[in-house]
Amino acid sequence: MGLKSRVVACNQAGAERLLFEQIAACDSCERLVDFRATFESPDTRQAHVDGYWAKPVPGFGDASARLLVIGLAPGAHGANRTGRPFTGDYAGKVLYGALYRHGFSNRSESTRPNDGLKLKDVYITNAVKCVPPANRPNGSEKRACLDWLRKEMTQLHRIRVVLAMGRDAFEAYLCLLKANDVIETAGRYRFAHGGTYRFDGESRILVASYHFSRYNVYTGRLTEQMVEALFLTVNRLLADSGRNRGP
């Protein structure tokens, strides 16, 4: 790596750290700040867990990723506890298992921030950075967090496929496209599991999925076969995008 490349890489890493710190320090939404504070009490935590992250959870992954995974919000006893998206909860078990099987990570599970997990060609984040009561952020909280998602994406220059896990993540990404004048209205795009969406003047392809939640899996709404098919689609789209870029 030449001197210029090293300087660019260093500056990029500095920008990533700064954004991480800015997100983690956000206190814009009073209801979410108050709810996060409840996890300071041992009565709210899981048994035998000393402390929780209980702050906004920034994204995590490969800064050169071509795949972006967007969830809704940190799980109360998952990312809100560990400080890393989809780490330590059921949805993460499904997601990281699939990422491992399809070549995006070096481990099949994610249990804690220092577990040695490394992601390749994928970056993972949430549309809302704080754990919400009953796992349901309200409209103002979704809108307030949209700018953090926009800032994360400005640092992810190589994204070609966006995988939206759940309707809320799907709608958040559409709202971002609308804010950037890529689309005129978000309402014309219907959420459907496995659906792929292309937009005029936009190189990134949106793929929709049911959320990898325990409820969806246990009720059979989302099956292992559906998850496998989803990632086969993602890898095919990434391969096609590489061919379409040309030499």
Q: Compute the distance between CA of residue 190 and CA of residue 183 in angstroms, rounded to an integer.
A: 14
Q: How far is CA 4 from CA 9, 14, 18, 63, 222, in A?
A: 9, 15, 21, 18, 47
* Mean pLDDT (whole number) for 179-200: 93
Q: Any alpha helices (H) in 65-166, and if so which ranges? A: 79-82, 90-101, 139-155
92-137 residue pLDDT tens: 999 999 999 999 999 998 888 889 999 999 999 999 999 999 999 9
Kind plus residue range of the DSSP H or E element containing 244:
helix 224-245
Say how many domains are in the chain: 1
DSSP letter (8 states) at residue 28: -
> What pLDDT does 186 receive?
85
How much is the pLDDT for 166?
96
Q: How much is the pLDDT for 201?
A: 86
**pLDDT tier at 21 (50, 70, 90 boundaries)?**
very high
32-63 core/surface letters (b: 16 or more CB in 10 A; e: else): beebbeebeeeeebeeeeeebbbbbbbbbbbe
SS3 129: coil
Considering Cα of 159, then 114, then 95, then 81, what sign does the dihedral take? negative
With bands split at pLDDT 50, 70 and 90, how would you rate the model's confidence at 28?
very high
Burial class (CB in 10 A: 0-12, 13-18, 19+), 183: buried
- The answer, yes or no, to whether residue 178 has pLDDT greater than 90, is yes
Residue 241, pLDDT above cutoff 60: yes
CB half-sphere exposure, 7, CA atoms < 13 A: 3
180: domain range? 3-245
Q: Lowest-confidence range among 65-69, 119-123, 189-193, 243-247?
A: 243-247
Task: Collect all residues with Cβ–Cβ distance below 8 Å to 94 and sequence separation of at least 6.
Answer: 212, 217, 227
Asked if residue 200 has pLDDT above 70, the reply is yes
Q: Which amino acid is residue 33, in one-letter code? A: V
CATH number of the CATH domain containing 153: 3.40.470.10
pLDDT band at 48 (very low <50, low <70, confident <90, very high): low
Is the separation of the CB atoms in 12 and 65 below 8 Å?
no
Name the strand (E) or helix (H) holding 69: strand 67-71
Write the pLDDT tens digit of every residue in 129-176.
999 999 999 999 999 999 999 999 999 999 999 999 999 999 999 999
- Name the pLDDT band for 41 (thresholds 50, 70, 90): confident
Tokens for 192, please give them. 């459907």
Instruction: Count each helix (H run) and each strand (E run) in the chain, helices first.
Output: 8, 6
Closest alpha carbon to 87 in 126, 120, 30, 48: 126
